[in-house]
Chain A
Amino acid sequence: MELVYYIAGLLIALLLVLILFFKQKKRNKQLIKLLGHTNKKLERLQIHFGRFTPEEVIEHLTDSDSTFKPTLRSVTVLFADLKGFTKMCEERDPVEVMGILNGYLRCMSEVLSRHHGQVTELIGDGIMSLFGALSNNPWQVQDAVMAALDMRKALQEYNNELRSKSLPELSFGIGIHKGQVLAGVMGNYELSKFGVVGDAINVASRVETLTREHKTDILVTDTIVAELDDRFVLKKMPPVKVKGKSEPIVTYVVEKLLNKSGT
């Protein structure tokens, strides 16, 4: 009789272990499913987040514990702004203007990314792009000027497209300057963004506005010229005093880039 109780006890214990085993197995399956779901969600979030902030910043924030605290870096700043855009907004249908603007921003962002520039801010029709702000880039000045020359070409192509659709053509001004800035994630716990602070930003912006005065499209400062070689054809412009600066700023028009055969 004792043996029967013993076997029955053993069977019950075995049954309990089996129940627990299958329960745990089911739970594991649920957890794996949940993990997969969470991973997909995270990927989606990363893709959407990528539209608001440079990809390198996202990688940095997701792959490490650091918060990308602002650090002092030598950065090349490129400002691009459309000329006559406000007038266009007043005269044309906002939906049409939005379509033209989105097309323009897409073309310019592609060119900037190709030349290692990070599009950091879109302010209406204005673009602020940084070179060397997120990682070491010894060729940042050359990259920025080559990007500007390619933006000129891309704008010509985009204008051909606009002309074929009987839409108004665009023209822009670009200002480029290099200097020390604080670059990193700024803001508070509730609202933060990747940004840059420093006089170089103001100078690049002022140089961009000078393109109207000098009736040209691409202007660079002498800090930029000091790092360019003789393949870049430049034209010196007269010094001009700008808002917020005690000394007049000397700028150069970037005319073209010569190839190996000098043409």
Chain B
Amino acid sequence: MTELLNEIEWSEPTISIVHDKKWEAEVKADIGRVADVHMRTSPSPWLRKIILKWPRYEAKEFPRKLADICGLVAAQENACRYCFGVARSWMRLWGYSEKMINNIERNVQMADLEEKERAFIRFCRNLSRSNPRPPKKDRDELLRLGYSELAIAEMAFLIVNHCFVNRVSTFIAVPPMEELENLPNSLLGKALRPLFGWKLRSIGWTETKALKGKPESFPGVVQKLIGLPAAYAMNEALSEALESEALSRKLKILMFAVVAHSLECKFCQAETAAMAMECGFTEEEFNKALATLSSPHLNEQEEKLLAWTRETIHFQNAPMQSRIRKLAKEVGEPMMLEAIGVASLANSTVRLAVLLG
């Protein structure tokens, strides 16, 4: 059963704050303040950049109202206490009524929405849901209701974008932003709501660079997004995550392969197999590593992270956060943080491929 804000299990953070003055100045210049999550992700350059930008992605191909609702629905479905609180507060500051938000949270049938909007929320819930794999029939339903292929691709990207941030925040157990959560109901919040709403809108992010040339990693996924700012964003995230040196490329490819294998995504299975051959695995070694979650190419710490990756597909917050805390002590926080980013990106990429592939 989908949970409400105060019913979500949440523990103390699993990853510590690391101050990086240059990075904090950059964040402040971009959005005006440095949040806890930006400091906890600061040791990983590619991850911190996505965490700063992706939650502010502005959809081009479908109404803003649906994009606003998407953040709330994904956070609730993924039981991310941190993101749920932020999404709820943002919606209140953007002018959505408490009643409407309550209705979306409790029962979408009660919310004052059109059939097309309800279908979008169903799509959003099913794609966000950690188990089972996303159903294609929801996508066909949206096409039938008149959304374009490009709009659906952007919807899917926005949902997996939120799922990525939800997973990272849940794995880190980022503390809820109490100050922001209390703002909409405070006297100041009520009096200056339009101003706060406008300020929030003004930090929206659109990728202005266009994708040049062919995407190198997971081209089948990125190509489905061509024509959208999301194409560049997704390609950049995948390339930088795979190029990062905090974890070996072999481990990262196996992590993607484990998620693809679990969600039975044929495209990503083939893609990860080809990538594995390129980086030095034989076919037999790769298949054996995937079947046993163990490989002579990996050290003991890397094997632990690979075994953990399969847990990231369908999980419950409390056991997952306690497992990460324990694992972070064994492998070290920098490696754990990187693994959190890679596993979250793998889950988002594979889900997108299952749906759009």
Contacts and interface: CB of A to CB of B under 8 A. Distances in A.
A231 B294 CA distance: 10
B24 interface: no
Interface string A139-157: 1001000000000000000
B303 A260 contact: yes
Interface in A116-145: 135-139, 142
A62 interface: yes
How many residues of B sit at the interface, in one of the four size bands? 20 to 34
A138 B262 contact: yes
Contacts of A231: 292, 294
A229 interface: yes
B292 A229 contact: yes
A260 B106 contact: no
Interface in B255-291: 261-264, 288, 290-291
Which one of B131, B288, B292, B314 has the greatest number of beta carbons of chain A within 10 Å? Answer: B292
Nearest to A229: B292
Interface string A32-46: 000100010011001
Nearest to B314: A135
Nearest to B302: A260
A56 B130 CA distance: 12
Interface residues of A, number: 19
B300 interface: yes
B1 A135 contact: no
A161 interface: no
Given A229-B291, A231-B292, A42 B262 contact: no
Contacts of A43: 1
A93 to B, nearest CB: 36
Nearest to B313: A135
B292 A142 contact: yes
Nearest to A141: B291
A227 B1 contact: no
Given A43-B1, A62-B1, A259-B300, A135 B132 contact: yes
A138 B288 CA distance: 12
- State the 10 A-B residue pairs at the shortest beta-carbon distance, nearest first: A260-B300, A229-B292, A138-B261, A136-B264, A46-B1, A135-B132, A43-B1, A135-B131, A142-B292, A136-B262
